[in-house]
Structure 1
Amino acid sequence: METKLLSFGAVMISVIALFGGAEGGCRSCGGGDVAWGGEVWLEGVLGGPSMAATGVSAAEAGVENVAEEPIIPEEPTVVEADELSTEDLSSWSISAEELRISLDRGTKPVVAFVSNIPPHGSYIDGSIELPSKSLITGDGSLGSPEDMAAVLGRAGVTEEDGLVLYGDCFSCGDVTFVFWIMKYLGHRDVAVLRGYEKEWSSAGIPLSGATSAKADAVYTPDPRPDLMADYKSVAAGVYQVVDARTADQFRAGHIPGAVNIDYHQVMEGSWLKSDSDLAEIFADLDEDKPVAVYTKNGGTASIVWYALKLQGHDASLYTWNDWLGHRS
């Protein structure tokens, strides 16, 4: 049975503003480089560079192969059944053909472009702009559910809307990160559009040179903070931890016991690898134990989180900087 972590103390999640492009990824995406941080980092230690760049030593970071006192964590949060396990995971993505049919219906989904810079080509006609950085506050943190709900309301989105997210750089992580945020807010009907502009055009989806605007709405969130792992539970071994950074970054320092699954491994072209390939990649993970995924940035971590969820794992995101903040 899948499990979930109820961690109501993690309502404020620190991230660095989304301007740099994904870690080792697409230079022009301008939104994948999400540097996570926990509550400690909200007090002024925001950032997400490597240990070498921050001056944090391996011993301070508490990484593997460093002699130190054992971790004595606080009592971990109780684990219960995962509400997302009841969802139809096939609805988490949508093909261009499926979207075209949906757009032809009377009740159309809200289609949102979530990257932080204009696309290389055209927008999908009638889509709104919902850049990932719009959900980030001025001090670089992901604010309260109410703050994000206000952003969604100003974009004309309600919790009842069908929502389709797209961008032109899947590897940047903007699309899966905003998808994670929507699930964090409790949004039920949200999907990621597969493919790129050529496929959308071939399917008959009309394209445009600009996005559209919708009338203001009221968005009522139903937060799911269990989707964010916390330090005490990670340190206590509640989770199997997946480090989704590159092998070089993993070797430079990682959370003790973490398994390295580079986020590039789960992708093929503009989408994820096949179910059989993903099953092989995740074969060493225990299907009955929750997984916490981290990278230097939440965008690329969310790609692996998304893939894990589609494979039936109970997965949450964790912050590398939260670990460093507790260990330093």
Structure 2
Amino acid sequence: MQTEGRLSSKIVAVIVVVASLTGGASAGCSACGGGSTWMGGSSMGISWAEQTLETGTTTSAGSSSSAGTSAAADGEEVDGSASAISPEALFIDQNGERRLVAAFVGVPGEASYIEGSIHLPLDQVFAEDGGIKSPAEIAAIFGAAGIAETDPLVIYGDSFVNGYDTFAFWVMSYLGHEEVLLLEGTRADREAAGLEFVSAPAVRAAVAYNSTPNLGLLTVESELADEQLVDPRTPAEFSAGHLDGAINVDSTTVIGIDGLASDSALAQAFRGLEKDEPVVVYSSRGGVASIVWYALFDQGFVPSIMIVG
């Protein structure tokens, strides 16, 4: 896909972030339709993800995740279209070359960290006003965590697809990170592959993170033109009020037992959209919106997210 929105990391994704969709609720409320701004992790739809998802293991059937697995295991550059890696491939790397840098996102519980993995301070990317910090500020945060722009990063949380994972995928895309993958599988799948979990993350020496930011990923609502609009909320929330011209793609419809739904299910969910035209997914909840955005990305669309209000 040849577009101005193609990322330097070969990840085709455009995310638009502005203020929230509907008023009348506390800022950052992840479980409601309102809220005025992103307010840290609670605004990423995490409570929704916890209620909806217990597990998530693979990308959709026939997707490009297997290509990402083999490329990562072979130590080759990972194309953005191959955005997932299996637990088995990560285990091979961690017990061999150790080329990949695993990073946990979300709220850690007891023994949440794969041995040798770091904690990605995703909550720190938010500014005091609830917006997203500048690329330079985020780069400094990740550099302090020991991440360089050239590190092949494997992002994982408590399941393959939740608001943390997909939002983190966007953040790295925003910075122009060269290689980023999402780890497939449930905790049980990962343990079965031989990955061991510990209670504390690894600590890496601080480095300089030299970002090549994709500034077009942050756009105000006033810059919208004729993009296709997708509302990822529930049908009830959609019926209560939505932007003119928007179609409703409930975020739960793009999720299957093993992560993303099948290709056929995703094709049905996105049947009203044209792949050769930009798509804007809007919501007051970044995590919920990012799940639909990632599913669109997986299916070859050029998606964006708009947090509106």
CA 1:228–1:244: 2 relative to 1, 3 Å? farther
Instruction: Say yes or no: does 1:243 pair with 2:231.
Output: yes
Shift in Å, 1:91: 2.5
| Contact 1:229 1:292 survives alignment (8 Å) | no
Give unmatched runs, 5+ long, in structure 1.
30-86, 322-328
The amino acid of 1:287's aligned partner reads K
- In the aligned structure 2, how far is the partner of 1:263 from the partner of 1:120? 29
Q: 1:175-214 residue pairs with structure 2 within 5 A? A: 175-214=165-204
Whichever of the two has the greater Rg, that structure is: 1
- CA RMSD in angstroms comes to 2.6
- In the aligned structure 2, how far is the partner of 1:146 from the partner of 1:89? 23
- In the aligned structure 2, how far is the partner of 1:27 from the partner of 1:11? 25
1:265 matched residue in structure 2:
253
1:17 matched residue in structure 2:
40
Shift in Å, 1:242: 0.6
1:92 matched residue in structure 2:
83
Shift in Å, 1:317: 1.1
Give unmatched runs, 5+ long, in structure 2.
7-15, 20-36, 54-77
| Contact 1:125 1:206 survives alignment (8 Å) | yes
Instruction: Say yes or no: does 1:124 pair with 2:147.
Output: no
CA 1:12–1:109: 2 relative to 1, 3 Å? farther
Shift in Å, 1:131: 3.4
2:127 matched residue in structure 1:
137
- In the aligned structure 1, how far is the partner of 2:17 from the partner of 2:234? 29
**Comparing 162-171 with 222-231, which one deviates more in the overlay?**
222-231
| Contact 1:22 1:173 survives alignment (8 Å) | yes
2:96 matched residue in structure 1:
105
For these two proteins, the number of residue pairs brought into alignment is 259
| Contact 2:230 2:246 survives alignment (8 Å) | yes
| Contact 1:17 1:140 survives alignment (8 Å) | yes
1:148 matched residue in structure 2:
138
Q: 1:1-328 residue pairs with structure 2 within 5 A? A: 1=1, 3-4=3-4, 15-19=38-42, 22=46, 24-26=48-50, 88-115=79-106, 117-119=107-109, 121-170=111-160, 172-234=162-224, 236-237=225-226, 239-321=227-309
CA 1:309–1:269: 2 relative to 1, 3 Å? same
TM-score normalised to structure 1 length: 0.72
1:81 matched residue in structure 2:
none
CA offset digits 1:189-209 (Å, max 9, x no partner): 001101121111100112212
Question: Helix, strand or coil: the match of 1:313?
Answer: coil
The amino acid of 2:82's aligned partner reads S
The amino acid of 2:41's aligned partner reads L
Shift in Å, 1:142: 1.3
The amino acid of 1:88's aligned partner reads D
- In the aligned structure 2, how far is the partner of 1:140 from the partner of 1:28? 25
- In the aligned structure 2, how far is the partner of 1:110 from the partner of 1:104? 13
CA offset digits 1:275-301 (Å, max 9, x no partner): 222122212211110001112211111
CA offset digits 1:65-93 (Å, max 9, x no partner): xxxxxxxxxxxxxxxxxxxxxx8345311
- In the aligned structure 2, how far is the partner of 1:18 from the partner of 1:104? 32
| Contact 2:18 2:307 survives alignment (8 Å) | no
- In the aligned structure 1, how far is the partner of 2:182 from the partner of 2:214? 19
The amino acid of 2:204's aligned partner reads K
CA offset digits 1:130-157 (Å, max 9, x no partner): 1321222344321100000010001000
Shift in Å, 1:27: 6.2
Q: Percent identity?
A: 40
| Contact 1:173 1:302 survives alignment (8 Å) | yes
The amino acid of 1:112's aligned partner reads A
- In the aligned structure 2, how far is the partner of 1:16 from the partner of 1:293? 19
CA 1:89–1:95: 2 relative to 1, 3 Å? same
Shift in Å, 1:274: 1.6
The amino acid of 1:26's aligned partner reads E
- In the aligned structure 1, how far is the partner of 2:121 from the partner of 2:286? 15
| Contact 1:93 1:192 survives alignment (8 Å) | yes
- In the aligned structure 2, how far is the partner of 1:267 from the partner of 1:27? 13
- In the aligned structure 1, how far is the partner of 2:5 from the partner of 2:115? 39
- In the aligned structure 1, how far is the partner of 2:194 from the partner of 2:138? 33
TM-score normalised to structure 2 length: 0.76
The amino acid of 2:144's aligned partner reads R
The amino acid of 1:286's aligned partner reads E
| Contact 1:185 1:222 survives alignment (8 Å) | yes
| Contact 2:18 2:219 survives alignment (8 Å) | no
